[in-house]
Amino acid sequence: QEINIEGSVSDIDSGMPLLGVNVIIEGTTKGTTTNFDGEFILRSVPTDATLVFSYLGYETKKVNVAETTDFTIQLQSDTQALDDVVVIGYGASSRRKLTGSVSTVDAESIQDLEPLNAANALQGTTAGVSVTPQSGSPGAESNIRIRGISTNGDSSPLIILDGFQYDGGLNSINPQDIESITVLKDAQAAIYGSVGANGVVLIETKTGKRNQAAEVTYNTYFGLQQTTRELPLLNNLEYALLTNEKYANAGQNLPFPDVSQLRTNTDWQDEVFDTAAIVSNNVSVRGGSENTDYSFSASHLDQKGIVAPEKSNFKRTTAKLSINTDVRDFLNLSANVIYTNNRSQGINSFGLGSVLFNAINIAPTIRPDRFNLDGTIDLGNEVANPLAQIANTFNDFESNRLSGSFQAELEYIKDFKLTARYGFNSSNLNNREFFPEFDFGTSKVFNRPFNQVNQNQQEFYDYTFDLFNTIEKSFFDKELDVTFTLGMTAFRTHGEGLFGARTGVPRNSYEFADIGTATGVGDNQTNGSFVSEFRRLSYFSRVQFSFKDRYLLTGILRRDTSSNFGPNNSTAWFPSVTGGWIITEEDFIGTNDVLNFAKLRASYGELGNDRIPNFLFLSVLSGEATYVLGDEQNLTNGQALGPVANPNVKWETAKKLDIGLDLKLFDNSLDVTLDYYDNTREDLLIPFIPTSGIFGTAAPGSSAPTRNAGTVKNYGFEAAIGYSKEVSDNFSFNINYNVSTINNEVTKINGAPFLEGGQFSVGQLPPARMEVGQPIGYFYGLKTDGIFQNQTEVEAHPSQRELAGVDASPGDIRFVDVNGDGIVNQDDRTNIGDPIPDVTMGLNLSFTYKNFEFSAYSFANLGSDIVRNFERDQPNVNMLSRRLDRWTGPGTSTIEPRVTTAATANKLFSDYFVEDGSFLRIQTISLGYFVPEKALQSVGISSLKLYAKVDNAFTFTEYSGYDPTASTGAPIGGGIDLGFYPLPRTFSLGLNVKL
């Protein structure tokens, strides 16, 4: 007997009808597909038949016709199947068969975190990946470091966005457009050859789904930001008394002879910090028909700064469109275009002369409206009124970026697929700065005797052209699966810039600040330009074997040539091998209730870093050639060679070893990943490395060459543990923890005993070094041993006279005579810390209970050091309140030296200024509520989530500065806090709607 069946198919979660679901009578070829409304009609179905509903990305469902009359079918999306695929560059692998060390962050985590910058989604969520913001100011970029710092040069990883090289900074990508972020940490990245040494971050953006009606989402949030911390500084009375004491200790007249006369008590931090708003709106439409899917999205973010919100802010507008269509069974075309507009304004937020630096150092006895400090206490030339500084700051930065890719995939024979892809980035950067004529007080460095406008326009263009062929074949009854990829990539980038500056802006006003409008003449009108060009050509192949589903082996070979490589080293080969063994596939182990899956993997390979200055192998006539010639004794210009060329210049080589173990335990609820890694970076490119004078390095405009001359090693352990459990229909939770250790050591520098960098205070020796046997960029300074309590102690100690030209006095810091030569001088400097954490970790948990969803993300660094360098060394500046505990007589302090205006060595770079930078930060706490579907159906909304979130909620740290997480990211000289603009704490309310 046969019947006709009418029914419909929808998504069990969203209730959305599914288009194009295959409905087949089991055991036959007879069937149909659902229409646009998810409905189907199947005629002449035997009453004992079983219907099979199958749909890509969903679990297949079988329904026995005899058992039901209601054919309203709901399909469950197969998250397991989707999560299982991991992009690995020029292809993908199932996570199960992955042989390299790879971390991923999925859309869900990004949705939870809703970071301003996609880079922050990696912070604390991925083992071995360190993300440090360059500043808390709006629009600041973050540094990403994968498994330590391996080079004195550029340590940032390669960013691949939907297959093409993306150099725009993650700040220009809308985080809500991201489907997944994948980090290749080991030799797996060798497919990227000379660009892969710093690791590779692969970003896949969201696409539409086939056979799905348009899904519209709208996400928005509004937040208020404030500073997490104000430094404890002296109030007016404390300040006056301590300053008096400084003078008294030096036998000088007191600057505040009558402290009872103090009237003004300005809290300068209160003056400069503000509560600032942040607003984000994001809309997307995604869907697809049987052969085509599409995705459109647009977003706008407007963030104001917590210091000077009107002068410091960031606006990002993005639009993205992607289309993917099967033109024929064998031909797929896709296009993906992203537009970003960034606008920002900024205040001086960095180092000596920053607004916060001034707020910390200016005297509390000065009224906020004293924009010109003449007649107030002398604070030296560098400290000015921060409010006056804000009022005189004018700038505007705008960038427009268009990036995208076009791709064709042709399956010309079954299992033989050819992919051609063209990716591009095109960007315009536009910067305008205005410095009005203003007098901050006699001889202040900020003073502008005349106004000036600076303009700067840059444009960059690059393309990546990929052509590769993939063959997937099975042999021996599917016992052996082989995937072979062979291809090439051509990359070109070109940049140009024009700069100009002019004085004489009419009315001293930003309104008229333009080079064309300004009227200045003379030496202060300057201009300049640059042109850059870089090309790379690569061939690569990868072969992946899987035997009996348990023995896995991948070999990668890539060949690179690049316009940066000299004639003597023009071609680079990068080989790697990765292997895996799925132990639980073996009969003698098998799976059981406890152990569901176990895979042992190992990888070794070589990768390169070609991010080096262009054309180092070529002699450029950029030297200075000026001589005096002729009767009139005129300066005459000729031409001379610039920096010495190095024809042997080549890429840096990273040798990466990784041994790992992946486990799934307890009914797949516990995931464990363990890794040991060893990255050795050889042939580090060291600029200006001292070189014999016979090469003319001392000639004007010349300099020593850049040479491959160093080795840095990073090694450590990583572990990631995840546990997820669906306790009941109403309650489920998951918890993820990751930890990694870093050991960093410089093992070789040729031609120089050490390299130094960084800056501490003014006019002091560089505080950071790169030296064999030490971590890269370790702090090099004097070691302290308490405070001299009395003259006897001073006399019993080796003389410290050489340090500051005066003998130490009781109350001064006692420095250790490290080299034991009976005298304390700069030769006694030694390792007093390093900015690289020993251990980094992240702990993230989330649970859902009925309609509520809670998540918390946290991360921690242990064992990093940070240098306190935001106190100006001037007699009358304000001080941290810790100085109240200063030494004032025998036994009063063993930590804080006396205060004095006299010359002392106390201000020299020593471990007195080095603090433990370890911290634990609760980054995000979020509580969401899903409005019940019943309440929504009437208004046509399929899902509505309301949430409240706190970002940067708490930081547990001993560090006394604003923010232990901020760093310049400089390999040598990072970890020195010049008064970083702290990351704000943000309280926000948000709304996610799906239609």
Contact (CB, 8 A) for 50 and 71: no
Closest contact distance (angstroms) between CB of 688 and another protein is 13
Closest contact distance (angstroms) between CB of 414 and another protein is 28
Closest contact distance (angstroms) between CB of 529 and another protein is 9
Distance CA 688, CA 703 (A): 6
Contact (CB, 8 A) for 744 and 789: no
Distance CA 258, CA 551 (A): 84
**Residues in contact with another protein, shown as a per-residue x/- string from 689 to 728 under the rule CB under 8 A:** -xxxxxxxxxxxxx--x-----------------------
Closest contact distance (angstroms) between CB of 242 and another protein is 35
- Given candidates 15, 638, 786, 890, which one binds another protein under the rule CB under 8 A? 638
Q: CB-wise, 466 or 871, nearer to another protein? A: 466
Closest contact distance (angstroms) between CB of 137 and another protein is 31
Q: Tell me how far apart the 2 most distant CA atoms of the chain are, in Å.
A: 118
Q: Does 517 bind another protein (CB under 8 A)?
A: no
Residues 163-202 close enough to bind another protein by CB under 8 A = none
Q: CB-wise, 256 or 460, nearer to another protein? A: 460
Q: CB-wise, 209 or 536, nearer to another protein? A: 536
Structure tokens at 193: 């050859």
Closest contact distance (angstroms) between CB of 693 and another protein is 4
Q: CB-wise, 68 or 570, nearer to another protein? A: 570
Q: Does 635 bind another protein (CB under 8 A)?
A: yes
Closest contact distance (angstroms) between CB of 638 and another protein is 3
Closest contact distance (angstroms) between CB of 754 and another protein is 14
Residue 363 DSSP code: -
Residues near another protein (CB under 8 A), total = 60
Residue 902 DSSP SS3: coil
Structure tokens at 276: 């600032």
Other beta carbons less than 10 A from residue 181's beta carbon: 26
How many CA atoms, within 13 angstroms, populate the side-chain half-sphere of residue 139? 26
Tell me the backbone φ, ψ of residue 694, rounded to 5 degrees: -70, -10
- Given candidates 26, 374, 624, 821, which one binds another protein under the rule CB under 8 A? 624
Q: CB-wise, 644 or 993, nearer to another protein? A: 644
Q: Does 799 bind another protein (CB under 8 A)?
A: no
Tokens 């005298």, residue located: 823
Closest contact distance (angstroms) between CB of 540 and another protein is 12
Closest contact distance (angstroms) between CB of 817 and another protein is 22
Closest contact distance (angstroms) between CB of 554 and another protein is 23
Q: CB-wise, 571 or 747, nearer to another protein? A: 571
Q: 285: alpha, beta or left, given left = phi > 0 and alpha = psi -120 to 50?
A: beta
Q: CB-wise, 135 or 564, nearer to another protein? A: 564
- Given candidates 33, 648, 732, 790, which one binds another protein under the rule CB under 8 A? 648
Contact (CB, 8 A) for 681 and 656: no
- DSSP letters, 780-832, are EEBPEEEE--SHHHHHHSPB-HHHHSS---TTSEEEP-TT-SSB-SGGG-EE-
Residues 580-619 close enough to bind another protein by CB under 8 A = 614-615, 618-619
Residues 735-764 close enough to bind another protein by CB under 8 A = 751
Q: 653: alpha, beta or left, given left = phi > 0 and alpha = psi -120 to 50?
A: beta
Q: Does 631 bind another protein (CB under 8 A)?
A: yes
Q: CB-wise, 579 or 701, nearer to another protein? A: 701
Smallest CA-to-CA distance from 203 within 154, 164, 236, 244 is with 164
Closest contact distance (angstroms) between CB of 702 and another protein is 7
Q: CB-wise, 255 or 701, nearer to another protein? A: 701
Residues 553-582 close enough to bind another protein by CB under 8 A = 559, 561-563, 565, 570-571
Buried/exposed code over 704-739 (b: 16+ C-beta within 10 A; e: otherwise): bbbbbbbbbbbbbbbbbbbbeeeeeeeeebbbbbbb
Helix (H) / strand (E) containing 259: none
Closest contact distance (angstroms) between CB of 405 and another protein is 20
Distance CA 401, CA 426 (A): 6
Other beta carbons less than 10 A from residue 798's beta carbon: 18
Residues 671-690 close enough to bind another protein by CB under 8 A = 690
**Residues in contact with another protein, shown as a per-residue x/- string from 519 to 558 under the rule CB under 8 A:** ------------xxxxxxx-x-------------------
Q: CB-wise, 692 or 937, nearer to another protein? A: 692
Closest contact distance (angstroms) between CB of 384 and another protein is 25
Smallest CA-to-CA distance from 897 within 908, 910, 885 is with 885
Smallest CA-to-CA distance from 974 within 741, 744, 747, 652 is with 744
- Given candidates 63, 276, 505, 645, which one binds another protein under the rule CB under 8 A? 645
Tokens 């002296």, residue located: 234
Closest contact distance (angstroms) between CB of 781 and another protein is 24
- Choices 272-280, 646-654, 894-902, 934-942; region in contact with another protein by CB under 8 A: 646-654
Distance CA 855, CA 269 (A): 33
Length of the chain, in residues: 995
Tokens 């009969």, residue located: 587
Contact (CB, 8 A) for 564 and 612: yes
Buried/exposed code over 288-307 (b: 16+ C-beta within 10 A; e: otherwise): bbeebbbbbbbbbbbbbbbb
Distance CA 394, CA 381 (A): 22
Closest contact distance (angstroms) between CB of 613 and another protein is 11
| Torsion angle, alpha carbons of 731, 736, 737, 742, to 10 | -170
Closest contact distance (angstroms) between CB of 573 and another protein is 12
Q: CB-wise, 647 or 889, nearer to another protein? A: 647
Q: CB-wise, 194 or 198, nearer to another protein? A: 194
Other beta carbons less than 10 A from residue 98's beta carbon: 22
Residues 948-987 close enough to bind another protein by CB under 8 A = none
Structure tokens at 934: 């019943």
Q: CB-wise, 396 or 802, nearer to another protein? A: 802
CA-CA-CA-CA torsion sign (812, 818, 823, 828): negative
Residues 467-506 close enough to bind another protein by CB under 8 A = 490
Contact (CB, 8 A) for 473 and 460: no
Distance CA 444, CA 462 (A): 44
Q: CB-wise, 165 or 236, nearer to another protein? A: 165
Contact partners, residue 576, CB within 8 Å, separation at least 6: 187, 188, 190, 555, 556, 557, 603, 604, 605, 606, 607, 656
- Choices 288-296, 446-454, 644-652, 981-989; region in contact with another protein by CB under 8 A: 644-652
Residue 191 DSSP SS3: helix
- Given candidates 4, 260, 592, 633, which one binds another protein under the rule CB under 8 A? 633
Smallest CA-to-CA distance from 878 within 481, 446, 376 is with 376
Closest contact distance (angstroms) between CB of 202 and another protein is 25
Q: CB-wise, 217 or 646, nearer to another protein? A: 646
Residue 507 DSSP SS3: helix
- Choices 371-379, 499-507, 645-653, 858-866; region in contact with another protein by CB under 8 A: 645-653
- Given candidates 3, 81, 621, 772, which one binds another protein under the rule CB under 8 A? 621
Residues 880-909 close enough to bind another protein by CB under 8 A = none
Q: Does 629 bind another protein (CB under 8 A)?
A: yes
- Given candidates 28, 275, 626, 747, which one binds another protein under the rule CB under 8 A? 626
Which residue ranges make up the site for another protein (CB under 8 A)? Answer: 490, 531-537, 539, 559, 561-563, 565, 570-571, 614-615, 618-631, 633, 635-641, 644-648, 690-702, 705, 751
